[in-house]
C-alpha cells in the first residue's frame, strides 16, 4: 500500500543482505509498512552477490552456497509491498525527539539520512522517517599487515570472492588463500572451481581447536556438513591446507610473484627457519570479519567484546539494542553466517510488529526462532574463539611495513610513537602519526594499530561516536538546512525487480529512502 510523502514507515531496514531481506519480508508479511535501504543496486549483500545483469551469467547459483534460501527471499520480496531503495548510502540515523542532523521534528520518529548514487556522490540528501529501525549492515574484513601486502595482486579473501561472484573474474591464475577463519575454505573452493590454481590454503589457527566446543558442534551439524563440502572440493582440486602457518612476506616488483609461508607457534609468532616460498601471482588474505556498527555506536548503543578481539552490538533476547526502538540482526551482533542472519532478521521483524502494531507477539514462533538463534550463536562464539589472532603476529612486521595504507604510516613510526612518545592506546597513536585518519577511517588498519598500541593484545579500537558512518559530500550537508529530498518508489515491486521503478521528487520530509 503506497504511503504519502509525509507518512512515516513502520520499519526502516538498513542493509539488503541475508538479515535485512529476512527482516523486511517478514515485517511486510506481518502488516508493517517497510522501507529496505541498501548501497548496492541489487539485493543479497556480500554473501549473495550476483553478477551484473550485463554479464549475462546463465547459472549464478553455481558460485553460491544455499542459493535456494536467497531465491525464496527474493521471491517474497517481489510479492510484498516493501519499498526497496537501492543505491542509498546511509550516513546517519537520528531520533526525531532529539536534536540531530537535519533537525528533529519532535515526533519521536527515527530519521535515516542517506546520499544516493553508485558511490554516494549524489548531491541531494534523502531522509526516511520510520517508527522503528532494523540495522542489518553486515561486516567488513579484518586485515593484519605484513611485508609486501601493498603489492598489486594482494586482495582481501572476501574481495576475491566478490570479484568472482559479481564480476566473474579471478584475482590471478595461481592464488594462495591465507589468513584465518572458515571463509578461507569457501573462498579457496570457489576459486578452484572457477579455474584458478590454488597452491595452498594457509590457516593461522588450527581446526582441532573446535573440539573444545563439543556442544556447539553437536547442535550445529550443518556447519560440519559445510566444512566437509568445502574440504571435499579442495581435495578434488588437490589444494593443500597448511594450518598454524601464515604468509609473512610477499615477493615481487610490479605485482605478486611469490609468498613466504612460515609456521607459527601458539601465539602466532613466526618459528625461525620454517619459511617456505610458494610461487603465485595473487594472494587472497583475510583474518576474519569485523561487525559494522558505526551507525549504532553513534547513537550510544552498548557493545560487547568478542573473543576474537572485535566488538559487536549488545542485543537483548529479541534483537533490540540498548536504544529503544532500534533493532539489529546478522553480523552486527557477531559474525555467524547467512543462516543465523536470516533467523535474527525474522525474529527482529516479529518483535517490531508486536511493538509497532500493538498486537501480541507470536509466542510459539518467537520461542522457536530464539531457540534456533541461540544454538547458532553458540557456534558463532566458538568460531570467534578458535580463529582469534594470537598476540605474536606483530613479529611479522618490519619497521618499513606500511600499517596504515591511506596515510602511509609504517610500523616503525607507530612503534616510535609508543616507545619514544608515550602513546598507550590507538587514539594516541592516531593523533601522533595520523594512522587511521585516511579515507577508510581505520577500517583497514584499526585492528593492527590497536594491537600494536596494546603490545600484542588483539583488539578493535574503542567504539567512537562519529556523526558520519560513510563519506558525505559537503553539498549534501549544506542541503540539510532546507527540506531533505524525498525519494518515493512507485508501487509494483522492488526497484531492481521487474515492475519496480524508483523516482525522485522534491518536497518536505521524505518518508521513503535510504540504505
Q: Got the DSSP string for 437-488?
A: -STTTTTTTHHHHHHHHTTT---PPPP---S-SS---HHHHHGGGSPPBPEE
Q: State mean pLDDT over 401-414.
A: 93
User: Mean pLDDT, to the nearest integer, of 22-28?
Assistant: 97
- Using alpha carbons, list the distances in angstroms from residue 92 to 129, 186, 403: 12, 33, 28
Q: Is the pLDDT of residue 274 over 90?
A: yes
Question: Is the pLDDT reported for residue 472 higher than 90?
Answer: no
Nearest to 321 by CA among 103, 136, 85, 511: 136
Q: Does domain 143-287 have CATH number 3.50.50.60?
A: yes
Report the share of the chain in percent with pLDDT over 90. Answer: 65
Helices (H), 272-359: 294-297, 338-357
Mean pLDDT is lowest, of 51-60, 313-322, 467-476, for 51-60
Is pLDDT above 60 for 504? no
Confidence (pLDDT) at 385:
95
Please check whether the two domains, 9-139+291-335+469-504 and 392-457, share a CATH topology: no
Q: How far apart are CA 211 and CA 472, in angstroms?
A: 46
State pLDDT tens for residues 284-317.
999 999 999 999 999 999 999 999 989 999 999 9
| pLDDT at residue 461 greater than cutoff 90 | no
User: Residue 283 in contact with residue 176, Cβ under 8 Å?
Assistant: yes
- Window from 83-97, 104-118, 288-302 with minimum mean pLDDT: 104-118
pLDDT of residue 59: 75
CATH architecture of 392-457: Orthogonal Bundle (1.10)
**Could you tell me the pLDDT band of residue 459, with boundaries at 50, 70 and 90?**
low
pLDDT at 120 over 90: no
pTM comes to 0.88
**Mean pLDDT confidence for 255-284:** 96
What are the residue boundaries of the structural domains of the chain, listed by start? 9-139+291-335+469-504, 143-287, 392-457
Distance CA 347, CA 23 (A): 8
Residue 317 neighbours by CB under 8 Å, 6+ apart: 370
Task: Indicate the CATH number of 9-139+291-335+469-504 among 3.40.50.2300, 3.30.2270.10, 3.30.1280.10, 3.50.50.60.
Answer: 3.50.50.60
Query: In this structure, what C-alpha cell is assigned to residue 306?
Result: 568478542
pLDDT at 401: 94
Contacts with 257 (C-beta within 8 Å, 6 or more apart), sequence order: 251, 279, 280, 281
What is the structure's pLDDT at 167? Answer: 86
Q: Give the length of the chain.
A: 515
Question: How confident is the model at residue 107, as a pLDDT?
Answer: 66
* Coil, strand or helix at 97: coil
In this predicted structure, the answer to whether residue 506 has a pLDDT above a threshold of 50 is no
Q: State residue 239's pLDDT score.
A: 95
Helical H runs in 331-465?
A: 338-357, 363-386, 411-419, 426-433, 446-453
Alpha carbon distances (Å) from 264 to 247, 272, 285, 360, 455: 10, 9, 16, 54, 18
Amino acid at each position: 500500500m503506497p504511503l504519502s510523502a509525509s507518512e512515516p514507515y513502520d520499519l526502516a531496514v538498513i542493509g539488503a543482505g541475508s538479515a535485512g531481506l529476512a527482516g523486511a519480508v517478514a515485517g511486510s508479511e506481518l502488516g508493517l509498512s517497510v522501507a529496505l535501504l541498501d548501497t548496492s543496486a541489487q539485493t543479497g549483500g556480500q554473501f549473495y552477490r550476483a553478477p551484473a545483469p550485463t554479464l549475462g551469467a546463465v547459472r549464478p547459483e553455481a558460485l553460491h552456497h544455499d542459493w535456494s534460501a536467497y531465491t525464496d527471499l527474493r521471491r517474497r520480496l517481489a510479492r510484498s509491498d516493501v519499498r526497496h531503495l537501492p543505491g542509498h548510502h546511509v550516513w546517519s540515523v537520528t531520533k526525531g525527539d532529539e536534536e540531530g542532523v537535519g533537525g528533529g521534528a519532535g515526533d519521536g520518529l527515527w530519521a535515516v539520512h542517506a546520499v544516493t548514487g553508485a558511490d554516494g556522490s549524489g548531491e541531494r540528501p534523502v531522509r526516511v522517517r520510520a517508527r522503528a529501525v532494523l540495522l542489518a549492515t553486515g561486516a567488513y574484513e579484518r586485515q593484519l599487515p605484513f611485508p609486501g601486502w601493498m603489492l598489486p595482486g594482494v586482495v582481501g579473501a572476501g574481495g576475491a570472492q566478490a570479484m568472482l561472484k559479481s564480476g566473474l573474474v579471478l584475482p590471478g591464475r595461481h592464488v594462495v588463500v591465507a589468513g584465518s577463519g572458515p571463509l578461507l575454505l569457501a573462498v579457496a573452493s570457489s576459486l578452484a572451481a572457477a579455474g584458478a590454481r590454488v597452491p595452498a590454503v594457509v590457516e593461522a589457527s588450527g581446526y582441532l581447536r573446535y573440539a573444545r566446543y563439543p556442544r556447539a558442534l553437536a547442535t550445529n551439524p550443518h556447519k560440519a556438513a559445510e566444512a566437509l563440502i568445502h574440504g571435499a572440493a579442495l581435495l578434488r582440486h588437490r589444494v593443500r591446507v597448511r594450518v598454524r602457518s601464515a604468509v609473512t612476506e610477499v615477493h615481487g616488483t610490479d605485482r605478486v610473484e611469490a609468498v613466504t609461508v612460515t609456521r607459527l607457534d601458539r601465539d602466532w609468532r613466526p618459528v625461525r627457519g620454517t619459511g617456505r616460498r610458494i610461487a603465485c601471482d595473487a594472494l587472497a588474505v583475510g583474518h576474519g570479519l569485523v561487525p559494522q556498527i558505526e551507525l549504532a555506536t553513534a547513537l550510544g548503543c552498548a557493545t560487547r567484546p568478542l573473543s576474537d578481539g572485535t566488538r559487536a552490538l549488545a542485543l537483548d533476547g529479541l534483537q533490540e539494542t540498548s536504544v529503544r526502538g532500534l533493532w539489529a540482526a546478522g553480523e552486527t551482533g557477531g559474525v555467524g553466517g547467512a543462516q543465523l542472519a536470516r533467523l535474527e532478521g525474522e525474529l527482529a521483524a516479529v518483535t517490531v510488529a508486536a511493538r509497532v502494531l500493538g498486537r501480541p507477539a507470536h509466542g510459539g514462533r518467537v520461542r522457536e526462532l530464539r531457540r534456533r538463534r541461540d544454538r547458532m550463536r553458540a557456534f558463532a562464539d566458538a568460531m570467534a574463539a578458535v580463529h582469534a589472532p594470537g598476540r605474536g603476529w606483530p613479529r611479522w612486521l618490519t619497521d618499513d611495513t606500511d600499517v596504515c595504507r591511506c596515510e602511509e604510516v609504517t610500523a616503525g613510526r607507530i612503534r616510535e610513537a609508543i616507545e619514544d612518545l608515550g602513546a598507550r592506546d590507538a587514539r594516541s597513536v592516531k593523533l601522533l602519526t595520523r594512522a587511521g585518519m585516511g579515507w577508510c577511517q581505520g577500517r583497514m588498519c584499526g585492528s593492527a594499530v590497536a594491537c600494536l598500541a596494546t603490545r600484542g593484545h588483539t583488539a578493535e579500537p574503542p567504539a567512537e561516536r562519529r556523526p558520519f558512518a560513510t563519506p558525505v559530500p559537503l553539498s549534501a550537508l549544506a542541503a540539510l538546512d532546507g527540506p531533505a529530498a524525498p525519494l518515493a518508489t512507485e508501487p509494483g515491486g522492488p526497484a531492481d525487480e521487474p515492475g519496480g521503478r524508483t523516482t525522485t521528487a522534491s518536497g518536505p520530509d521524505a518518508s521513503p529512502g535510504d540504505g
